[in-house]
Structure 1
Amino acid sequence: MKAEFIQALEEIEKEKGISKDTIFDALESALISGYKKNFGSSQNVEVEIDKNTGSVKVYANKTVVENVSNKLLEIGLEEAQEIDSKYEIDDIVKIEVTPKNFGRIAAQTSKQVVMQKIKEAEREVVYEEFVNRENEIVTGMIQRISKNMVYIDLGKTEGVLPPSEQIEGERYEQGDRIKVYILEVKKTTKGPQIVLSRSHPGLVKRLFELEVPEIHDGVVDVYAISREAGSRTKIAVYSKDDNVDPVGACVGFKGSRVKAIVEELNGEKIDIVIWNKDMEKFIANSLSPSQVLMVDVDEREKSALVVVPDYQLSLAIGKEGQNARLAAKLTNWKIDIKSESQYETEIKE
Structure 2
Amino acid sequence: MSSELLDALTLLEKEKGISKNILLEAIEAALISAYKRNFNSAQNVRVDVNPETGTMRVFARKEVVEEVFDPRLEISHEEAKKLNPNYEIEDVVEIEVTPKDFGRIAAQTAKQVVTQRVREAERGVIYSEYIDREEDIMTGIVQRQDSRFIYVNLGKIEALLPVSEQMPNETYKPHDRIKVFITKVEKTTKGPQIFVSRTHPGLLKRLFEIEVPEIYDGTVEIKSVSREAGDRSKIAVHSDNPEVDPVGSCVGQKGQRVQAIVNELKGEKIDIVRWSKDPVEYVANALSPSQVVKVIVDEEEKATTVIVPDFQLSLAIGKRGQNARLAAKLTGWKIDIKSLSEAKEENVLDEESTDFEEPLFSVQDDYLTDNQDDVEDKEIE
TM-score (normalizing by structure 1): 0.94
Residue 289 in 1 paired to residue 297 in 2?
A: no
Question: How far is the alpha carbon of 1:65 from its aligned partner?
Answer: 3.1
The 1-side partners of 2:245 and 2:77 are apart by: 92
The 2-side partners of 1:171 and 1:240 are apart by: 41
For residues 69-108 of structure 1, what are the structure 2 equivalents within 5 Å? Answer: 69-108=69-108
Residue 161 in 1 paired to residue 148 in 2?
A: no
Aligned-partner SS, 1:94: strand
The 2-side partners of 1:348 and 1:208 are apart by: 39
For residues 6-17 of structure 1, what are the structure 2 equivalents within 5 Å? Answer: 6-17=6-17
Aligned-partner SS, 2:57: strand
The 2-side partners of 1:89 and 1:259 are apart by: 83
Residues 19-60 of structure 1, C-alpha deviations (whole Å, 9 max, x = no match): 122111111111011111111142211111112211111111
Unpaired stretches in structure 2, ≥5 consecutive residues: 350-381
Match of 1:344 in 2: 344
Q: Output the amino acid matched with 2:73.
A: L
Q: Report if aligned partners of 2:169, 2:266 keep a CA contact under 8 Å in 1.
A: no
Question: How far is the alpha carbon of 1:169 from its aligned partner?
Answer: 4.4
Residues 37-93 of structure 1, C-alpha deviations (whole Å, 9 max, x = no match): 111142211111112211111111122333333222222333222222333333322
The 2-side partners of 1:294 and 1:277 are apart by: 17
The 2-side partners of 1:262 and 1:348 are apart by: 39
For residues 1-349 of structure 1, what are the structure 2 equivalents within 5 Å? Answer: 1-347=1-347
The 2-side partners of 1:74 and 1:205 are apart by: 69
TM-score (normalizing by structure 2): 0.86
Select between 228-237 and 67-76 the one with higher mean Cα deviation: 67-76
Aligned-partner SS, 1:90: coil
Aligned pair count reads 349
Q: Output the amino acid matched with 1:251.
A: V
Q: Output the amino acid matched with 1:269.
A: K
Q: Percent identity?
A: 60
The 1-side partners of 2:73 and 2:273 are apart by: 79
The 2-side partners of 1:80 and 1:249 are apart by: 84
Question: How far is the alpha carbon of 1:348 from its aligned partner?
Answer: 8.2
Unpaired stretches in structure 1, ≥5 consecutive residues: none
The 1-side partners of 2:301 and 2:173 are apart by: 47
Q: Output the amino acid matched with 2:298.
A: D
Q: Output the amino acid matched with 1:54.
A: G
Q: Output the amino acid matched with 2:305.
A: L
Aligned-partner SS, 1:347: coil
Residues 195-239 of structure 1, C-alpha deviations (whole Å, 9 max, x = no match): 211111110011112222332333322111011112211011123
Q: 1:57 and 1:135, CA in 2 relative to 1: closer, same or farther beyond 3 A?
A: same
The 1-side partners of 2:102 and 2:169 are apart by: 62
The 2-side partners of 1:251 and 1:209 are apart by: 12
The 2-side partners of 1:230 and 1:222 are apart by: 20
The 1-side partners of 2:201 and 2:344 are apart by: 38
Q: Output the amino acid matched with 1:6.
A: L
Select between 166-175 and 27-36 the one with higher mean Cα deviation: 166-175
Aligned-partner SS, 1:151: strand
